[in-house]
Structure 1
Amino acid sequence: MASRTRARRAAAALGCTGLLCAVLGAVMLVMVPSIMKQQVLKNVRIDPSSMSYNMWKEIPVPFYLSVYFFNVLNPDEILQGEKPQVQERGPYVYRYQFQPDKSRGLESDYIVIPNILVMSAAMMMEDRPLSLKLMMTLAFTTLGERAFMNRTVGEIMWGYDDPLMDLINTYLPNLFPFKGKFGLFAELNNSDSGLFTVFTGVKDFSRIHLVDKWNGLSKVDFWHSDQCNMINGTSGQMWAPFMTPESSLEFYSPDACRSMKLIYKESGEFEGIPTYRFVAPDTLFANGSVYPPNEGFCPCRESGILNVSTCRFSAPLFLSHPHFYNADPVLVEAVLGLQPNQEEHSLFLDIHPVTGIPMNCSVKLQLSLYMKAISGIGQTGKITPVVMPLLWFGESGEMEGSTLRSFYNQLVLMPTVLHYAQYVLLALGCILLLVPIVLQIRSQEKCYLFWSTSKKGSKDKEAVQAYSETLMTSAPKGAVLHEARL
């Protein structure tokens, strides 16, 4: 009897525990997604109390600038009208300063590239009177300027003294946005990519991380349509959370002087963290005839290159993917030594879709110079019109170290544990609830069997007793007793 009481108490305890687990699991099933969403919303805002605030204030991803130069192998032949031949040199890697251990070469390496100042000035004089062109030819000769120059990597990157630069700054002081030395990355060395004013998401979450102004401007005036001049998207550090494959990444790029939009390609994983990969669409640098919305970025040349002369002191400079990847094949065929391929020359960003924070990225752009012979300017010789690649650079970085571990634990591991915990509790609760029910059913079956067996036994006893009584009673006269045998 005591054992039955203990069994009933154990069954009741299991039932209560199961009910508690089932209720807790059901509550978590309903509440956890909402709680997690609220936590994400709270932590991606630009607010001192949020987890992403320090990530926004100081990007934890170590970004490296890798620069590849196109060393010109036949400058004299180009002046005679022959096809240019180039050899890629690099990478020369920087992170605030030169990183020799990650580079293939030194800053003291000499590179032969077109003289950007000379060729740009010559192009600006194309439609001017012949007398002015002859005066420019004389000035170039006096200053020792030629169509190609042989400079070190450090000089090309961060600046070199040039008498032509001094002359221009003297007579045309507002032509260039910089003074003193001329270098392709001189502005990057002395400043940043500009001042971005962005929405924090504290008051209006629908606009989180979107750019309000860049350098005080709500739109730029480099291009020929309102759509192209718009500053859309973010500053390129973070995006809105809860992305789907239908989402796109839009950001303003000071390097390209325009907003750029990347599209979803595929889902993946980075160090155990789920990601969405976004890439450049085929239309990113397409010309207006191929993609009409880009007409505002013209005057255009072949499709696949962006004319940035309007935001680069009127120099005939073009942006594209490295090696003219995804551009008109005519551009590749015009220069020997180019080998475009998707793996090395396409750009991508891997984003954690739940938070909109980049995990791994590689943005690659090429800078090219349009060159041709200008009648009246002897330094340009007989150069066949060509879009000449100067260099390409990649800005790459990936989350690592303690930042990566903290991100994984708080935004991947914990939500995963809670996700599975709710189903485990629900299943465990159902199982524990079934145990007392099964025990009760089995207990009833045993009672029924016992009762049935007891009833059947009493009837047998009555039958035996009745038969015995008949045997003990004498048979009536004349009765025949029969014996049956098997």
Structure 2
Amino acid sequence: MCGRRLCISACAVVSLLLVILGVGVLLGFDHIFRYILNKEVSLSEHSRAFPMWKDPSHETKIRFFFFNVTNPNEVLIGEKPSVKEVGPYTYRANWIKHNITFHDNGTMSYKETKRYYFDRESSVGPETDEIMTVNVPFVTTAQLLKEQNFIIRGIASLSLSGLGQRIFISRSVGQLTFGGYPDILVLLGSVIDSGRPRPGQPGFNIGDVFSHGYRTVIDMLGSLVDPDKQGTNGKFGYMVNKNDTIDGEYTIFTGEDDISKVNQVYEFNKHRKLEVWPGDECNTLTGTLGHIRPPLSKSNEQVMFIPDICRSIPLESIGYESFKGLKVKRFIAGPTAFDSGQQRSENECFAAGRTLPDGGANLGPCKQGAPLVLSFPHFLYADSSYRADVDGMNPDPNKHQFFFNSEPTLGVTVNVRGRIQVSVVLERVFGLGPFSRVAEGVLPLFWQETRVEAREDTVKLLRTIVQLPEYSQWGSVGLIVVSSVLLAASTFLLFRPRVTRREITKVQPIAIDVKKPGDATCGDVFPNKVERILQNGLDRIPNSFGITAVRNNFINELKNTRRTSEPSAPAEINIYKT
């Protein structure tokens, strides 16, 4: 009995402890989970997020869509340009982070080598496909000459015509992207640029001009002898010097000291500010690089720094969606991202002397003064005047929207569609040959999509981590319910035996009255029925806690009494309670 009571008591104590544990986990899990999450999502050297950030398992591709000019001759005489989109031409990307250094101020620095490989299977054609496009170096030169007097423009016009320069040229996809093509104007610009005074150096350095020009010519001659050793000096291409190269040194916050700053840019190329735009506000480094946001962040705004365009762009949340079964929060670059400054005053300094309608941003200061315009593909969200200047524009948010999807609990980006269009400004320059009658406007050159997607194994891992709080909460509820039932059952069993025994000991005694035959109130009862009557009567008494032994002893005593008394006649036995 003592061992049984001890087991029941132990079960009750354990059940009570489990109830307390379940309630504690249910009430305190959010704080515990947030603490662990902040520690593991930070980019500290020993966090779980660090190796995923350093060597992501995402699939990254860069896709180019070119605008082939279908009526170049008509454009030269002032007619509206007509373009046809050709693409995609896809390149697989491999981005490798290295030279990672942690600093005492909660930041780390690293460099990233970016390599690209043409993916023919995901492209509409080979890299040798020809595109009729604008000669950007020639247009850039014309813009520089626009402010010169008529005599200089006339001399320049003869010189440029002698060099075979035309507004529209046909080049291959490979040349327009990473390969580049030799261009005399780029060569001259590179040589002249080398002689510009450096900080702290007065005047023009003619020595640098000759030395740099000598090296450039040697590189070009070497590429003719050995095409595998082609240099990029004197070449033009939208992605020249971008393949298998380092685009700069980044310094970002790790989030170890303040998780709200995780992945935010602190320095770029060891500078706290850019030196590109005329205003400090536009040169300020803001935002993240898009890999990770602060976990459990409820903010509906995000700023992304894009080094290739020398600026940050704002994004805003439009709600939740599903990506491979994972709930994600979508952020898009909306209509005001490339606002001219009318709606977003902080964008005024991006104009840099070139006023453009809303939806287009001056890219010239970032690209050595070239008259380039940044927008979303097909002038999505842009002023209607852009689409009025050219035929062939069909903006579609489903195809041309810039967005990324972030898992809201962990802040990990799982899906990106970075879509940007580059266009060129065509303006008439009187006295400069073909530019005297050219149709004016903003002519699209190409648009580029940076496509990043997390692989299935990564998404599966994220789903497991994200569902952990829900599983834990339901597990806590289940633990509380089961433990409460066990506690109630243990308490009942622990106190129930005492009550039952106390009730049994109060059984009223049974009296047996044996009467002689002939009594008026008695019937005849034969001796062989005595035992059966007694047995039937006693069987109604509960058979528990030793009553069987009492019953049997009582029957035996009655039998012995019957034998010794030897009644002369059958007796009637009446059983009743007293």
Q: Above 0.5 in TM-score? A: yes
> How far is the alpha carbon of 1:376 from its aligned partner?
0.9
Match 2:335 to one of 270, 282, 290: 282
Tell me the residue number matched to 2:129: 109
Native 8 Å contact 2:71 2:81 kept in 1: yes
Tell me the residue number matched to 1:146: 166
In 2 relative to 1, CA 11–385 (structure 1 residues): closer, same or farther, beyond 3 Å? Answer: same
Work out whether 1:237 is the aligned partner of 2:291. Answer: yes
Residues 77-86 or 274-283, more deviating: 274-283
Work out whether 1:167 is the aligned partner of 2:188. Answer: yes
Tell me the residue number matched to 2:529: none
Residues 66-75 or 192-201, more deviating: 192-201
> How far is the alpha carbon of 1:342 from its aligned partner?
0.7
Tell me the residue number matched to 1:227: 281
In 2 relative to 1, CA 347–174 (structure 1 residues): closer, same or farther, beyond 3 Å? Answer: farther
Match 1:54 to one of 39, 51, 55: 51
> How far is the alpha carbon of 1:69 from its aligned partner?
0.2
- SS of 1:55's partner is helix
Code of the residue aligned with 1:239 in structure 2: it is: R
Work out whether 1:259 is the aligned partner of 2:312. Answer: yes
Tell me the residue number matched to 1:475: none
Work out whether 1:15 is the aligned partner of 2:12. Answer: yes
Quick one: distance in 1 between partners of 2:10 and 2:396? Answer: 67
> How far is the alpha carbon of 1:297 from its aligned partner?
1.4
Q: Of the two structures, which has the highest relative contact order with CA contacts closer than 8 Å and spacing of 6 or more? A: 1
- SS of 2:241's partner is helix
Map Cα deviations across residues 232-274 of structure 1 (whole Å, 9 max, x no partner).
1222222222211x34222211122112221111123323333
- SS of 1:250's partner is strand
Work out whether 1:211 is the aligned partner of 2:208. Answer: no
Quick one: distance in 2 between partners of 1:139 and 1:268? Answer: 58
Work out whether 1:78 is the aligned partner of 2:131. Answer: no
Match 1:390 to one of 415, 420, 445: 445
Tell me the residue number matched to 1:97: 117
Residues 249-258 or 443-452, more deviating: 443-452
In 2 relative to 1, CA 116–437 (structure 1 residues): closer, same or farther, beyond 3 Å? Answer: same
Map Cα deviations across residues 135-169 of structure 1 (whole Å, 9 max, x no partner).
22112211111000100000011210122222333
Native 8 Å contact 1:209 1:234 kept in 2: yes
Q: Which runs of 5+ in 2 are unaligned?
A: 93-115, 197-208, 213-231, 523-578
Native 8 Å contact 2:250 2:268 kept in 1: yes
Tell me the residue number matched to 1:199: 253
Bigger Rg, which one = 2
Quick one: distance in 2 between partners of 1:22 and 1:58? Answer: 43
Code of the residue aligned with 1:108 in structure 2: it is: T
Native 8 Å contact 1:230 1:259 kept in 2: no
Code of the residue aligned with 2:318 in structure 1: it is: K
> How far is the alpha carbon of 1:438 from its aligned partner?
5.7
Work out whether 1:421 is the aligned partner of 2:467. Answer: no
- SS of 1:421's partner is helix
Tell me the residue number matched to 1:45: 42
Code of the residue aligned with 2:335 in structure 1: it is: D
Residues 27-36 or 319-328, more deviating: 27-36
Quick one: distance in 2 between partners of 1:445 and 1:79? Answer: 109
In 2 relative to 1, CA 31–171 (structure 1 residues): closer, same or farther, beyond 3 Å? Answer: closer
Work out whether 1:380 is the aligned partner of 2:401. Answer: no
Match 1:335 to one of 370, 382, 390: 390
> How far is the alpha carbon of 1:425 from its aligned partner?
1.0
> How far is the alpha carbon of 1:46 from its aligned partner?
2.1
Match 1:325 to one of 375, 380, 389: 380
- SS of 2:124's partner is coil
> How far is the alpha carbon of 1:442 from its aligned partner?
7.8
> How far is the alpha carbon of 1:347 from its aligned partner?
1.2
Native 8 Å contact 1:107 1:153 kept in 2: yes
Map Cα deviations across residues 279-305 of structure 1 (whole Å, 9 max, x no partner).
113211111224333212123311001
Work out whether 1:268 is the aligned partner of 2:300. Answer: no
Tell me the residue number matched to 1:479: none
Work out whether 1:124 is the aligned partner of 2:179. Answer: no
Tell me the residue number matched to 2:200: none
Match 1:28 to one of 25, 36, 39: 25
- SS of 1:63's partner is strand
Tell me the residue number matched to 1:294: 347
Residues 82-91 or 230-239, more deviating: 230-239
Residues 433-442 or 214-223, more deviating: 433-442
In 2 relative to 1, CA 190–183 (structure 1 residues): closer, same or farther, beyond 3 Å? Answer: farther
> How far is the alpha carbon of 1:370 from its aligned partner?
0.6
Percent of residue pairs identical: 29
Quick one: distance in 1 between partners of 2:344 and 2:259? Answer: 33
Quick one: distance in 2 between partners of 1:143 and 1:74? Answer: 24
Code of the residue aligned with 2:266 in structure 1: it is: D
Quick one: distance in 2 between partners of 1:417 and 1:386? Answer: 59
Native 8 Å contact 2:63 2:448 kept in 1: yes
Quick one: distance in 1 between partners of 2:344 and 2:304? Answer: 20
Residues 48-57 or 174-183, more deviating: 174-183
Tell me the residue number matched to 2:421: 366
Map Cα deviations across residues 366-418 of structure 1 (whole Å, 9 max, x no partner).
00101022111112241222111000001011111544444444x23544433
In 2 relative to 1, CA 282–441 (structure 1 residues): closer, same or farther, beyond 3 Å? Answer: farther
Q: Which runs of 5+ in 1 are unaligned?
A: 473-486
Quick one: distance in 2 between partners of 1:318 and 1:187? Answer: 21
Tell me the residue number matched to 1:484: none
Code of the residue aligned with 1:277 in structure 2: it is: R
